[in-house]
Structure 1
Amino acid sequence: MAPARTKIIVVIIVSLFLLSGTWWWTLLVNSPQLESAYAPNKGKPTNVATPPQKESVQQPTAQVLSKRLVEYHINVSLNPEEKLLKGTETLTWTHPGKNIVTELYFHLYPNAFSSKETTFMKESGGRLRGDTMPADGFGAMNLTDIKTVDGLSLMHRIQYVQPDDGNSKDYSLIRVRLPRPVKGGESITLNLNFEVKLPKIFARMGIADDFVMAGQWFPKISVYEPQGTRGRVTEGWNLHQYHGNSEFYADFGIYNVKIHVPKNYIVAATGFPTQTAKLKDNMKVYQFYADDVHDFAWSASPNFIVAEKPFSSPEVAGVRIKLYLDPAHEDMKERYFYAAEAALKYFSKWYGSYPYSTLSIVVPPEAGNGAGGMEYPTLVTAFGAKNDSPGYELERTVIHEIGHQYFYGMIANNEFEEAWLDEGFTSYVEDKLMEQEYGVIPNLAIQAAVISSPAPLNQEAWKYGSQEHYAQNAYYRGKLILKGIEQQVGTQTMGKIMKTYSIKYRFAHPTTLDFQKVVEQVTHTSWQSYFNQYVYGSQMTDFAINQITVQQKKSAQGPLYESVVTVDRQDGLYPNIPILFRFADGHSIHKVWKGNGDRIQFKLQYKSPLAWAMIDPEYTLVLENNHINNYMKVDNDHKIVSRLNISITKLLETWLGSLSW
């Protein structure tokens, strides 16, 4: 998800100054590279037989890319006047572990917006990325029935649970006790009925006028982790409530979803349509199918301007890019297409081919901005169409969210517990592509200066506290740590690291430790110290000029001055620290400290006295967040030294010249 940047920029400035068609469908169906979109989930042992579906989806045999532990068949209707979704869901879950399971857990995410007392609302304060929950905007999910395939109701076996904070007013997670256990390798099928009173758009979902964003909208089974998954010693459920900062975690599977909307509505959704939308009972019925994905989202509006374009590249066999534009951005479709094509082309080249047949981009209206800047499998949202002449934030948001198709979509880390593995990684690749395609160079020094309170990256998202603290670490600090590795190993080796990690853990649930192991395997070097300081720890780099002395020496050849400059390391280790020494006559000397040890002294003899010294004059140390002590000036009498916030001034000048966020 893309963070809100405007507020952060303002905070930075203030803080710094205080311091200082048909043919395509035929191709789609017959393309062997794209057949995976039709692949069935074969060979699963069953504990309870899956009921026959009234309308089966044609699914020729093809490559199975993931374990497909879940299968959803959902039928949902939208009533925009009542702001209501009514749905039925048939879920089949395959037990991936060995121990007997006697209960299932489901996320009821819309209940995060049911009152001011939920965990999400209390932690967020009813605000997310600059959007505020309207006073009358609450919504909720009501699970009206849950049965086994033989008709046994389990409603009396439901219990709301709050494993993270014990908040009895939070109803985002339920436990369902089963009438009989499920053994390892067996499957169970349940039938659920549910209703969702849509909130006014806030935090990725809801309704704004006649625009609907259905994200995390259906009862969704939690992840059961076998021993060894993400380092687990014993198998079990991974259980978390819906928190103010956290996003999601789910298993891969199959989704077959039928969506009923008013006849004038257009629907965008995960996956691809299996048939042309049909009118039934004065409603338009869409049907979508997706496999090897771990979520399903959809959006609907009568106002969408739809544009489509086929795309292929050496690494992408064929993708149908679909734009669902708010009318305010109708004239910008080529900007959206270009950004999407660039992202698909280069991310597939760098991190492995995009394996799906479609990519949909939804541009919400201004009133629906709370649903903007979000990623779902094969579907992303841009920010709301407020400005009729937006800057590069249009492209940056599209590229960021498509980057999430890799670092969230296929590389499905646990966003509850290690959010930097998707947000930090996606921010890193976003910068890389924005610089290449648009010449927008990220101002990493400014972004590092934002990080006033670094914290470990392998902690639960809600433990960062504020959204600002979460963004500083999961997004910016995470990205800078990756950039720090790149600086030390070089661009080519870093590319190999990222591609190795992306391919190795595609359709898996990797951890930070898995990434560390890849870094060490590719570089044949231990990175334990680096990860201990910056990833598992809360350090940044901080190098300071602490003292300068200048003495005039006797010399037969004329005036001679000896300048002694003391440089200290005050925080994390980092190699190759550049230092610039400028003398009164304008002469300069550049030196590099290897960064070993806590202190170094430089003794310089020259015919002119030293005027000033500065660490990292070009702002290349990406993890340096305290620039104020990088510079020291010598007074004219060579006895008194003073610190001038030249680094802050230069930072502002550089930022004003690039505006890279």
Structure 2
Amino acid sequence: MPQRRFTRFLVPAAAAALLVFSIPFGFAEAWVNQYALPASAQPQQEPAPAAAEPGADVPIAPKPAVLSNRVAEYHISVKLEDGDTLTGQQTLTWKNPGRKPVQEFYLHLYPNAFSPGSTFLKESGGQLRGDKMKAGSYGSMTLTSLATEEGETLLPRLHYVQPDDGNPDDRTLASFRLPEPVGPGQTVTLRMSFTVKLPQVFARMGTAGNFVMAGQWFPKAAVYETAGTRGRTSEGWNAHQYHGNSEFYADFGLYNVKIDVPESYKVAATGFQTQQPAVKNGRKIYQFYADDVHDFGWAASPSFRYVEESFSSEGVPGVRIKLYIDPLHAKLQERYMHAAKSALALLGKWYGNYPYSTLSVVIPPADASGAGGMEYPTLVTGAAAKNDNPGFELERTVVHEIAHQYWYGIVASNEFEEAWLDEGFTSYTEDKLMAAIYDVVPNSAVEASYLTHPEPLKMNAWLYDSSDSYAENVYMRGKLVLKAIEQQVGEKTMNKIMRTYFQTYRFKHPSSSDFQKVVESTTKKKWTDFFQAYVLHGQMADFSVESINTRQTGEGGYESRVLLRRGGGSPEPVTVWFQFADGQKLLKTWDGSQNHVQFKLTHSSPLQYVAIDPEMAVVLDNFRYNNYLKTEVSEPVRTRWNIGLSKAVDGLLGILAW
């Protein structure tokens, strides 16, 4: 298809800001958000000086259409005070997307996860990904006012709810009754003020010295799911507390946010700036706008080294990549920029257009590792800058978080209830990106061996046995499930599956069953057994050689009966290697449809050993030591070669050396 062409036009900053505020809800074309650069050269790069101060983005042509259902519209003004306190005012307009009137309303008050007794602290033990909460460093959110657009106060109606665990000390989810029901397609506007006490950062938000990470920092409307969304038979709220394992889920909408910080601070945020920051009385006010996003995150520090470049390629019509780097990594800006550009280019080519005009990459300082490796719409954080010569973890973290822009940001799965659709898909894509860009290839067999406690993938995040089990399944096992599909259908068909899934469900909040439908429609066959075993249940593949019975025949030859077993997972073809003492080998394919199968072989030489899946193509087999069995014909009883797991791996690697 011919490439779209875009015409650059200039709009005064003040007029741009005025127009943003005057766009009617639900009809905003967001002319100042989805810009694209001229697509004549691929890629285009326009480096900015490292010392440049981030300013307003230059408007180009508008995108042609609204991309999401835009359920929520936020106008927020927030001020950073005393280094760790946010005071804010927010106007939230919410549109009822369903077919029934709604009178009960739900708000997420996520910063209360850092208050004593919260479910998050109980479940996490005050740590996340190895980063621990500092003693006494609590955080909180207080709603200081809540009213209708007409001024009727609703604060006395507010009560905290704990639908998941009944913990009376958890205040991360609140509900209240509206004065009047909101009819289908109608809107309600709420005005509120709030104060947030930021903890010392350890779990996605907080402070570290003069560094601030504001994630999940404002009162956020819960998701009202319509009938048919993720398989729902009736519409209703999908509202959960903040848990130790869980991340987030929200509706798409518009965000117009003013951020007031001390004058020396630079601010990175979701979306783009609509005007130059205003400076007055030692303070600086930034103004950001974003549409067709389901969250808004920001970070601030006076120490950031700022670099900006423009980039375009196939699937990336035009984007400004903005780096906010800790000074320790200032000399590594080319590595960060290369990783960001390369990841965006491949994601756009593989899956579809990146629909936003900006992508900000924030590198936290060494003492803010809890803010590292996180994703927000159009903003990601890399690993904290702990040394000046990091290995590939620098690139791996950046490409992983940018891959989230597609599966978390645009597809927007429910991370409360089906986290693998984000983390598993992102981890799978991360591997693809690292292989394509840096020739770093994972070892799936070794990774599968880490899976010691498999659990279902379609499961509420807080129901996993532990944080380790959550990570093991949602990230690693989820990724390997996708790799297992690829192994069966081939890379070309798998690429088509992933692209079709993205194109079909972008901005739609899909479910595991929606993904299954795409797999089945693309491959033209049923995958019920596969999804039952690996997604709805916590199974792994387990192919084993149960026994070998060899005897000498009267004709001077040997007859062997080999019993094979499939002890878990779904049927799939597997290669079986029969090795004879005279050096001859025989390769057969077992379709894996039965739980047990017996092979009968006759040969002039005795059978020496049998190995199932010698090329380790069965990605989800995490129990490989029983894939091999050696025969000792001189003994009455054939015994399994008694070796430990490490020796088994050595043996299988030896088998492959041919």
**Common fold: TM-score over 0.5:** yes
After superposition, the Cα gap between the structure-2 partners of 1:351 and 1:42, relative to the gap in structure 1 and judged at 3 Å, is farther
Q: Does 1:65 align with 2:63?
A: no
Contact 1:552/1:562, CA 8 A, preserved across alignment: yes
In 1, Cα distance between the equivalents of 2:80 and 2:492? 50
Map Cα deviations across residues 336-359 of structure 1 (whole Å, 9 max, x no partner): 111111111111111111010000
SS where residue 522 of structure 1 aligns?
Answer: helix
SS where residue 605 of structure 2 aligns?
Answer: coil
Match of 2:90 in 1: 89
Match of 1:204 in 2: 204
Give 1:61 deviation, angstroms.
8.2
SS where residue 641 of structure 1 aligns?
Answer: coil
Match runs of 1:459-474 below 5 Å: 459-474=459-474
Contact 1:448/1:622, CA 8 A, preserved across alignment: yes
Match of 2:52 in 1: none
After superposition, the Cα gap between the structure-2 partners of 1:137 and 1:279, relative to the gap in structure 1 and judged at 3 Å, is same
In 1, Cα distance between the equivalents of 2:285 and 2:651? 55
AA of the residue aligned to 1:166:
G
In 1, Cα distance between the equivalents of 2:652 and 2:112? 45
After superposition, the Cα gap between the structure-2 partners of 1:567 and 1:495, relative to the gap in structure 1 and judged at 3 Å, is same
After superposition, the Cα gap between the structure-2 partners of 1:465 and 1:26, relative to the gap in structure 1 and judged at 3 Å, is farther
After superposition, the Cα gap between the structure-2 partners of 1:279 and 1:541, relative to the gap in structure 1 and judged at 3 Å, is same
SS where residue 306 of structure 2 aligns?
Answer: strand
AA of the residue aligned to 1:643:
W
After superposition, the Cα gap between the structure-2 partners of 1:651 and 1:357, relative to the gap in structure 1 and judged at 3 Å, is farther
AA of the residue aligned to 2:79:
S
Q: Residue 585 of structure 2 is aligned with which of 571, 585, 588?
A: 588
Match of 1:101 in 2: 102
Match of 2:420 in 1: 420
SS where residue 481 of structure 2 aligns?
Answer: helix
After superposition, the Cα gap between the structure-2 partners of 1:266 and 1:194, relative to the gap in structure 1 and judged at 3 Å, is same
Match of 1:296 in 2: 296
Q: Does 1:577 align with 2:574?
A: yes
Give 1:443 deviation, angstroms.
1.2
Match of 1:17 in 2: none
After superposition, the Cα gap between the structure-2 partners of 1:598 and 1:457, relative to the gap in structure 1 and judged at 3 Å, is same
In 2, Cα distance between the equivalents of 1:453 and 1:351? 32
AA of the residue aligned to 2:148:
T
Q: Does 1:381 align with 2:381?
A: yes
SS where residue 289 of structure 1 aligns?
Answer: strand
Contact 1:548/1:566, CA 8 A, preserved across alignment: yes
In 1, Cα distance between the equivalents of 2:22 and 2:405? 22
Match of 2:551 in 1: 551
In 2, Cα distance between the equivalents of 1:29 and 1:347? 29
Contact 1:73/1:91, CA 8 A, preserved across alignment: yes
Q: Does 1:306 align with 2:306?
A: yes
After superposition, the Cα gap between the structure-2 partners of 1:388 and 1:179, relative to the gap in structure 1 and judged at 3 Å, is same
Q: Residue 77 of structure 2 is aligned with which of 75, 78, 83?
A: 75
After superposition, the Cα gap between the structure-2 partners of 1:41 and 1:413, relative to the gap in structure 1 and judged at 3 Å, is farther
Match of 1:9 in 2: none
SS where residue 642 of structure 1 aligns?
Answer: coil
What is the TM-score normalised by the length of structure 2?
A: 0.89
Greater shift in the superposed pair: 636-645 or 420-429: 636-645
Contact 2:571/2:594, CA 8 A, preserved across alignment: no
AA of the residue aligned to 1:444:
S
In 2, Cα distance between the equivalents of 1:619 and 1:60? 50
AA of the residue aligned to 2:639:
V
Contact 1:631/1:644, CA 8 A, preserved across alignment: no
Match runs of 1:263-274 below 5 Å: 263-274=263-274
Unaligned runs of 5+ in 1: 1-24, 46-56, 656-661
In 2, Cα distance between the equivalents of 1:631 and 1:61? 58
In 2, Cα distance between the equivalents of 1:457 and 1:256? 36
In 2, Cα distance between the equivalents of 1:604 and 1:391? 51
In 2, Cα distance between the equivalents of 1:468 and 1:39? 45
SS where residue 478 of structure 2 aligns?
Answer: helix
In 1, Cα distance between the equivalents of 2:546 and 2:9? 65
After superposition, the Cα gap between the structure-2 partners of 1:510 and 1:62, relative to the gap in structure 1 and judged at 3 Å, is same
Unaligned runs of 5+ in 2: 1-5, 28-57, 654-658
Give 1:601 deviation, angstroms.
2.0
Contact 1:67/1:253, CA 8 A, preserved across alignment: yes
In 1, Cα distance between the equivalents of 2:99 and 2:534? 36
Coordinate RMSD, CA, aligned: 2.4
Match of 1:398 in 2: 398
Q: Does 1:407 align with 2:407?
A: yes
Contact 1:542/1:570, CA 8 A, preserved across alignment: yes
In 2, Cα distance between the equivalents of 1:599 and 1:217? 55
SS where residue 449 of structure 2 aligns?
Answer: helix
SS where residue 472 of structure 2 aligns?
Answer: helix
After superposition, the Cα gap between the structure-2 partners of 1:175 and 1:319, relative to the gap in structure 1 and judged at 3 Å, is same
Greater shift in the superposed pair: 245-254 or 645-654: 645-654
* Alignment coverage as a number of residue pairs: 610
Match runs of 1:29-48 below 5 Å: 42=24, 44=26
